């Protein structure tokens, strides 16, 4: 895990950036902006200072059955590593436990470990799937992200209604078409 960012240094850099953009960082509306941006960036990148194991905090429980567990509509907020603009949407996770299950809120926390970093959606999807497979010792995992990217909506091609969908299927979710179909049916896709 990385150390906490130097918010004072980040604020100084943001102040310099405002000057380079042609703004007056001493005007009324911007005086406190560098500090606010520094705090915001520290929060939005807190995933660098966390691991799946740290957010699980021991919430791995014995389970007798090995059936599919699905959590869908997990809200996701991340920042594109190419433009440092937000992307946001939802995530659906399914896994088949062998003998252990993860606390339900911990699935969402694992998503945030990776979403709260400068990211691309494709990598984010793979990282979440791999972490759940490892931490749950799962027989199979399915992860689907559906996100809108402000780097596409506000600039560049300016396509406001575009949505990117990525999926990662591991273990039985990749190898068994019926398992994959059940998961996709349960998440409504």
Residue 48, phi then psi, degrees to nearest 5: -65, -20
Per-residue confidence in pLDDT tens, the chain, 189 aa: 568 999 999 999 999 999 999 999 999 999 999 999 999 999 999 999 999 999 998 888 888 767 899 999 999 999 999 999 999 999 999 999 888 899 999 999 999 999 999 999 999 999 999 999 999 999 999 999 999 999 999 988 988 899 999 999 999 999 999 999 999 999 997
All CATH 3.30.1130.10 domain ranges in the chain, comma separated: 58-186
Asked if 165 and 144 count as a contact pair (C-beta separation under 8 A), the reply is yes
Please give the pLDDT value at position 63. 80
Region of 188 (left: φ > 0; alpha: ψ -120 to 50; beta: rest) is left
Q: Report the alpha-carbon distance of residue 9 to residue 179 in Å, rounded.
A: 50
Please give the pLDDT value at position 99. 84
In this structure, which topology does domain 58-186 adopt according to CATH?
GTP Cyclohydrolase I, domain 2 (3.30.1130)
Pinpoint the alpha helices (H) of 33-157. Answer: 33-44, 52-56, 104-115, 121-136, 150-153
**Which of 93, 106, 96 has its CA nearest to residue 145?**
93
All CATH 1.10.286.10 domain ranges in the chain, comma separated: 7-44
Please give the pLDDT value at position 1. 53
What does the block give as tokens for 74?
Answer: 């997990």
Which CATH code of 1.10.260.40, 3.30.300.30, 1.10.286.10, 1.20.120.530 fits the domain covering 7-44?
A: 1.10.286.10
b/e map 22-53, b = 16+ CB within 10 Å = eeebeeeeeeebbeebbeebbebbbbebbebe
């Amino acid at each position: 895990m990385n150390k906490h960012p130097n918010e004072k240094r980040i604020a100084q850099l943001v102040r310099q950036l405002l000057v380079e953009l042609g703004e007056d960082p001493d005007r009324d509306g911007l005086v406190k902006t560098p500090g606010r941006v520094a705090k915001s960036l520290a929060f939005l990148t807190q995933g660098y200072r966390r691991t799946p194991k740290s957010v699980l905090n021991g919430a791995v429980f014995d389970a007798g059955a090995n059936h599919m567990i699905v959590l869908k509509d997990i809200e996701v907020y991340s920042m594109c590593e190419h433009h440092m603009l937000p992307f946001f949407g939802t995530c659906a996770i399914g896994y088949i436990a062998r003998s252990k299950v993860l606390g339900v809120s911990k699935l969402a926390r694992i998503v945030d470990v990776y979403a709260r970093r400068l990211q691309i959606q494709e990598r984010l999807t793979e990282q979440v799937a791999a972490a759940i497979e490892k931490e749950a010792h799962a027989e199979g995992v399915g992860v689907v992200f559906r996100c809108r990217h402000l780097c596409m909506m506000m600039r560049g091609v300016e396509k406001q209604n575009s949505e990117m969908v990525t999926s990662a299927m591991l273990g039985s979710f990749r190898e068994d078409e019926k398992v994959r179909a059940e998961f996709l049916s349960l998440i409504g896709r």
